Amino acid sequence: MLLLENSLKYLAIIIIVITFCLLFVSRHKYKTMAFRDFGSCLPNRHALARYLQKKRNKKLAIFYIDLDNFKHINDAFGHMIGDQVLRSFGSRIIQLKDAKQGFFRIGGDEFVFITDYINKEYTKKVAESLLRNIKKSISIDGKTISIRGSIGISVGRLNNNFDLLLNEADIALYTAKQQGKNQIVYHGVNP
Measured N-to-C along each axis, helices 70-77 and 79-96 cross at an angle, to the nearest 10 degrees, of 130
pLDDT at 27: 60
What are the tens digits of pLDDT across the range 35-86?
A: 777 777 788 888 888 888 888 788 999 999 999 989 999 999 998 899 999 9
Judge whether 129 and 49 are in contact, CB under 8 Å.
no
Rg (CA), the chain: 22
Judge whether 170 and 154 are in contact, CB under 8 Å.
no
As a 3-state breakdown, the chain gives helix, strand, coil percent values, each rounded to 5, of 55, 25, 25
Give the pLDDT mean for 157-175: 88
What are the tens digits of pLDDT across the range 1-10?
A: 555 566 667 6
The pTM assigned to this predicted structure is 0.81
